[in-house]
Structure 1
Amino acid sequence: MESLEQNIIRTEYSDVMQKSYIDYAMSVIVSRALPDIRDGLKPVQRRTLYDMYELGIRYDRPYRKCARIVGDTMGKYHPHGDSSIYEALVVMAQEFKKGLPLVDGHGNFGSIEGDGAAAMRYTEARLQKITQETFLGDLDKNVVDFLPNFDETEKEPEVLPVRIPNFLVNGSEGIAVGMVTSAPPHNLGEVVDAVQAMIKNSKITDEELMQYIQGPDFPTGGIVVNKDDLPQIYKTGTGKIKIRGKVEVEQLKGGKERIVITEIPYTMLGANIGKFLNDVASLVETKKASDIVDISNQSSKEGIRIVLELKKNADAQNLINLLYKKTRLEDTFSVNMLAVCDGKPETMSLRNVLEHHIDFQFELATRKYRTLLNKELSKKEIQEGLIKACDVIDLIIEILRGSKSQKQVKACLINGETEGIKFKSKESEKLAAALRFTEAQATAILEMRLYKLIGLEIEALMKEHEATLKNIARYEDILNNYRSMAKVIIKELEAVKKEYGTPRRTVIENAAEAVYEEKKPVETEVVFLMDRFGYAKTVDVSVYERNREAADSENKYVLTCMNTDKICIFTDTGKQHTVKVPDVPYGKFRDKGTPIDNLCNYDSAQEKIVLVECLQRVKGAVLLFATAQGMLKQVEGSEFDVAKRTIAATKLQEGDEVVSIADMKGIEQLALQTRQGFFLRFQAEEVPYKKKGAVGVRGIRLGEEDVLEAVHYLDASCEGTAVYKEKEICLKRLRIGKRDTKGTKTRV
């Protein structure tokens, strides 16, 4: 019991949670979501590439099933589920996502339009040549540290010895805990030129670096239109890049034109192409782009081709500007060049990225050439021993013949110990005692075959020794001389650029803001129709006149208004919702229309419509508001001409709701009717004018559990009748009373 109590740690719960969360966050940041600045790879990408290398799936060998690669990677290095590994593998093979694909995929690896890759059991893959040579080429030269895998049964590289700044070339996207990385891809040739320039001149300015790296180079091409913002973005590592698709205008017969989109913004990849087409269709439906008569996606393996057919004499440039303003044809790429550096996340400027890359390259080169130097020194030692042995070969043969064991021979060759060895003469014994070969040399001599004593073989050994001495001198020069090492790194980079460099695809420029001149619609009169289910539409006045009887019987609300007007919807919750008439679908009489809930913030499940009227008539009116608790007020209609889609049209007390709203024009008297049968008739002028934010005044004194049920509006010519429990009541015969009284009880 005592030992149990000793193991209990008493601590604040919040401290434990904080520590646990920080540990989790750092694990996600470092081990999963963010790339390492040295090789520009996330752990899942690094492990997948290394596993392919270990399995021997090289660029010049047959493809292997992706399921094999994924299973092996998961079992050995990345125990986080097969879907994350396969998704990483697929992305590294997609040319439209990576400026420099690292995997050569065979089969269905998805499309630019968002189609997913086939299942891993169908697709195959192998390493790209550049990946094998530039990312994995020097792993056998002890250039990086190897760490134990998750169960300590295998070793995996801490980082891959990548020779190019992959973080810049391929970019990176990832969401960690509380942070996100988003680095755009760049042109390989430009990045290599910038690295070479910085190696040659470490004090190079940011402006001079920008002469080499013009800006991002997206696989989808497109146009970066805010060139002047790029220096600040690269200086801070954060910012927003504006990109546009590439658009051409093609001339057709008969004076017609069509807009052809041949390149899309990088952010439009995948399902966003479909969304773009839907957005264009919506612009056509709402008559904002009525000059577009047809939309077709003619994209293929050859490239993007989205065609918009135009009416004759349409303003193509104005329509292009509309697409830039209203769709994702112009979009923003948010830059946040965040990467793991020295085990912690850090936002990098362009200079920081290049400096870290160059430091990494010098570290790789140092370890590589130190390894090569040690190998050459070992070769030199053995070669010198064999050359020396050839000069005294007769003596060595005599030692071999006179010895009883290999151990005895080795002792003689290394230390000159002659005891127990039979020699032909004292002179031989004396010469043998002077021998001082190293252990490695002695082993090589014992393993040497007799054919090595042929004259040509000895000559080849001498030449090989000369080559080894030259290599040693070269490696020592590289290791001891900064310029020599820099020259080697620059030469390797130049070779990569020459073999794998591609022309720039993205245009960098400063473009003017897209200005769309919206054509003012011809103001005409239309009829707004809304049925009892809330489906609304507008039709031409002539169409309504031809179908007046059916329209009036089938629809709950029928309003004549202008096509530039707004429709005001007042509800029992005291809200006013506004709908622009151009947003209401215009068409044939038998068209179903669109639910009014989709055109404004009205919620048919939570509120009921009390009044529907066009704004022009509301502005010229004085509206009476009456609530269930008997509160009344008059409000000038101009107060309801607002820009917001939803406002509070009146203030309600707790548990109250609007019962009636009406225009007071020509109304002389009001007759209030309650649920319990009380009627109160009084002059309309007794109701004061209030602001829309006021509660109002009491119109009738209500009994317990009684509520105002209806308001009857009486003008000079109207007798007015009401029905209470199936009894018709003539309102003009009611005694005229005063507001805020109880009224008269109707006897049934």
Structure 2
Amino acid sequence: MATTHDQDSERLPLNAFAEKAYLDYAMYVILDRALPHVGDGLKPVQRRIVYAMSELGLSAASKPKKAARTVGDVIGKFHPHGDSACYEAMVIMAQPFTYRYPLVDGQGNWGTADDPKSFAAMRYTESRLTGYAATLLAELGQGTVDWQPNFDGTLDEPATLPARLPNVLLNGGTGIAVGMATDIPPHNLREVAAATIHLLAHPEADLDALMTHMPAPDFPTGAEIITPAAELRRLYATGNGQIKVRATYQIEAGEVVIDALPFQTSGAKVLEQIAAQMAAKKLPMVSDLRDESDHENPTRLVIVPRSNRVDTEAMMAHLFATTGLEKNVRANINVIGLDGAPQVKNLRDLLAEWLSYRTATVRRRLEYRLDQVVDRLHILEGLLTAYLNIDEVIHIIRTEDEPRDVMMARFEITDVQADAILNLRLRHLMKLEEFKIRGEQDTLDAERKKLEALLGSEKKLKKLIADEITADAETYGDERRSRLVAREQARALSEADLLPSEAVTVVLSREGWIRAAKGHDVDPEGLNYRTGDAYLAHAAGRTNQALIVLDSTGRSYSLAAHKLPSARGQGEPLTGSLNPANGARFVGVAIGDETLTCVLASTAGNGFATTLADMASRQKAGKATLSPGKNGASLAPTTTAADEAELCVVTSAGHLLCVALADLPQLAKGKGNKLIALKTGESIVAVQALARTATLIVYSGKRYKSLKSAEREAYRGARAARGQQLPRGFTSVHALGVDG
């Protein structure tokens, strides 16, 4: 059967229809929902709420009414959307921690900074407009703005409000549209007013001149803005950027009291974050937390350090880096311009466009008033004519069938003037009324001349606008809350920084088993070892210091000293946590600060100085640090030096050489330089770094010999020298030690 089509129908491909429908929806969301207008800084729902409240007579001086009454008027007359969304928009305008200058004065539970959405239902809360809202509404009935029909065409609503101040910057706002969003931070009224007036007086002013008056945003919750000036300038130059905001704190009786939080940060959430770190034992310097916030102190979070030895600044720097005590607030100044199109605007363009809007608004206000004055003067002229000819006027009214036309012809007056005469009440025909008319004429004529002068002079018009902005800034302005402070970047404490610093002795056995004993007063050789195993090496340090393990191939590994098994047992094999190469043996350990110098030497006679930081490796397979050389050479026992020292090297032939540690090359890895001259078949058996004033102990079997500084003079020489033969009985040295 043939299909018929209506002649008026339109056939479109599905992709074209879908594209058009989506674009229409996107433009609706952008223009009628999500983005504020540059003129009054309001989204449509906010504008309708403010206008509906003014129509209900809810001024700052009136008695508040239920919020449900306002919401009902808004969605019933102007905004056909959900009541909950409308009410939430109203709540945001009433929250002093969200809006820098609230538009709604709410009574009841309107949410808290910890939970902005914890507000009561609209049937419980009451509201009215704030005094500041008058800056948006005061000129509404003075011909200042365009009007448009509401959604069903039964009422008119203002397309924008005649804002006397740049509300778009003062309260800012956020919104998510289709393909774009806006995040405008709030600013200080006095600063914005000063920058606006400066631009009004100096249209050629650049961004730097404006920023001398308005250097940064100003958040309602205070806190500190620590963003560098160059980044703030880039933000205002492009309309995009971030503002880094940091909480402020005071020290009271040894406790840290946080008295201001970053914008839109929950104090309860911050305490949860700190408590979670305490529970995970990642914040040992904190012993207690308290929330002492109340009506008089909206923000008062107390952090109690574990002792008075805690570095408060380092602790707070860590909390700034790891919790919501420091926050990046996004800025994206995207607004609907006077041309009706959305655009990200820089500060200068935004203020210039608002000044264009304000200038046009004031001009329309003056023209509207001038028209009223001229019309009234015209009527007064007719009334005066009537009073001067009152008997004849009365006669015409009593005797003529069409007195209006007769008076117009007789006195040469207009129809408007004739109607005004005919509408006079009898009691206004007194002689005294003539004097009132002449007085009103004089007053209105003076006002007319003033209005015409303002409209005819750009200079006078600018002065009027500037004076009005100044007056409003004095009435509604306040001091800056967010201080501009230069601070160093917050740094989170490392795991080692957070660990308690306890003395520990790390012990390594010949079979590669490792353990840690508390304290430094430990006899490592006297510990209990597994059958067939024995002591090999040990190192004394602290639990929060770097621990390095070395193997015979010259590879180095990192371990956490505080995680080692206790020396009460026999320890654990290093192969359980490290992956050495086949045939490699663990031969030494070193522990200390990352900058601690460590001497690595191969049995082939080469070596160099390095630091524990250079030997550190996060890999289980470690990193190649020393290249021991060929012919089966391996890493000799290592030694560390914390201060100016000399290095003593002993060979398998019993030769001892003492050289200045400074003569060794400082390397991160490699083969190093020759430490001592060796003959064929010889090797290095032990190295020891020590202070020149310390005593060197030479161990040979069960025998040992002490060499004081003066006694070592004979063994001192240049690096790579042969050294001197040790006395008889000490030609088979197996270890070196230090006394003092």
Show the 5 A alignment for 1:507-526. Answer: 507-515=483-491, 518=494, 519-520=496-497, 521=499, 522=501
What's 1:130 paired with? 132
Q: Is the 8 A contact 2:113 2:264 kept in 1?
A: no
Per-residue deviation, 1:400: 2.4
Q: Is the 8 A contact 2:544 2:562 kept in 1?
A: no
What's 1:696 paired with? none
Show the 5 A alignment for 1:644-663. Answer: none
Q: For each residue in 1:295-343, what CA deviation from the matched residue of structure 2 results, as whole angstroms up to 9, or x when unmatched?
A: 1111112221110011231111110111111112111111100011222
The correspondence for 2:314, drawn from 296, 315, 318, is 318
What's 1:178 paired with? 179
Q: For each residue in 1:614-668, what CA deviation from the matched residue of structure 2 results, as whole angstroms up to 9, or x when unmatched?
A: 7764323769xxxxxxxxxxxxxxxxx98599xxxxxxxxxxxxxxxxxxxxxxx
Matched, 1:504 2:464: no
Show the 5 A alignment for 1:142-221. Answer: 142-221=143-222
Q: For each residue in 1:86-125, what CA deviation from the matched residue of structure 2 results, as whole angstroms up to 9, or x when unmatched?
A: 0111110111111100001011111111151001100000
Q: Is the 8 A contact 2:33 2:43 kept in 1?
A: yes
Q: Is the 8 A contact 1:186 1:218 kept in 2?
A: yes
What's 2:553 paired with? none
Per-residue deviation, 1:370: 1.2
Show the 5 A alignment for 1:518-667. Answer: 518=494, 519-520=496-497, 521=499, 522=501, 617-620=577-580
What's 2:351 paired with? 354
Equivalents in 1 of 2:546, 2:196: separation in Å?
61
Q: For each residue in 1:581-629, what CA deviation from the matched residue of structure 2 results, as whole angstroms up to 9, or x when unmatched?
A: 8999x9xxxxxxxxxxxxxxxxxxxxxxxxx997764323769xxxxxx
C-alpha RMSD over aligned residues: 3.0
Q: For each residue in 1:696-716, what CA deviation from the matched residue of structure 2 results, as whole angstroms up to 9, or x when unmatched?
A: xxxxxxxxxxxxxxxxxxxxx
Q: Is the 8 A contact 2:114 2:269 kept in 1?
A: no
Amino acid at match of 1:383: L
Show the 5 A alignment for 1:303-452. Answer: 303-310=298-305, 311-341=307-337, 342-403=339-400, 405=401, 408-416=402-410, 435-452=411-428
Look up the SS of the partner of 2:198 in the other structure: helix
Per-residue deviation, 1:144: 0.9
What's 2:274 paired with? 280
Q: Is the 8 A contact 2:257 2:300 kept in 1?
A: yes
Amino acid at match of 1:121: R
Per-residue deviation, 1:580: 10
Amino acid at match of 1:380: L
Closer/same/farther in 2, CA of residues 7 and 541 from structure 1, 3 Å limit = farther
What's 2:121 paired with? 119
Matched, 1:480 2:456: yes
What's 1:301 paired with? 295
TM-score of the two chains, using structure 1 as the length reference: 0.67
What's 2:43 paired with? 42
Amino acid at match of 1:212: H
Look up the SS of the partner of 2:460 in the other structure: helix
| Structure 2 portions without partners, runs of 5+ | 507-514, 519-542, 548-557, 566-571, 584-615, 621-740
Q: For each residue in 1:671-715, what CA deviation from the matched residue of structure 2 results, as whole angstroms up to 9, or x when unmatched?
A: xxxxxxxxxxxxxxxxxxxxxxxxxxxxxxxxxxxxxxxxxxxxx
Look up the SS of the partner of 2:132 in the other structure: helix
Look up the SS of the partner of 1:372 in the other structure: helix
Task: State the aligned residue count.
Answer: 531
What's 1:234 paired with? 236
Equivalents in 1 of 2:303, 2:348: separation in Å?
43
Q: Is the 8 A contact 1:286 1:583 kept in 2?
A: no
Identity %: 35
What's 1:461 paired with? 437
Q: Is the 8 A contact 1:224 1:241 kept in 2?
A: yes
Equivalents in 1 of 2:79, 2:457: separation in Å?
40
Q: Is the 8 A contact 2:143 2:368 kept in 1?
A: yes
Q: Is the 8 A contact 1:249 1:259 kept in 2?
A: yes
Q: Is the 8 A contact 1:294 1:309 kept in 2?
A: yes
More helix by share: 1
Look up the SS of the partner of 1:619 in the other structure: coil
Closer/same/farther in 2, CA of residues 164 and 643 from structure 1, 3 Å limit = farther
Equivalents in 2 of 1:84, 1:73: separation in Å?
11
Per-residue deviation, 1:160: 0.8
Equivalents in 2 of 1:8, 1:395: separation in Å?
70
Per-residue deviation, 1:150: 1.2
Equivalents in 1 of 2:453, 2:201: separation in Å?
18
Amino acid at match of 1:32: R
Q: For each residue in 1:541-568, what CA deviation from the matched residue of structure 2 results, as whole angstroms up to 9, or x when unmatched?
A: 99xxxxxxxxxxxxxxxxxxx99999xx
Closer/same/farther in 2, CA of residues 389 and 238 from structure 1, 3 Å limit = same
Per-residue deviation, 1:46: 0.5
Look up the SS of the partner of 2:578 in the other structure: helix
Equivalents in 2 of 1:92, 1:387: separation in Å?
52
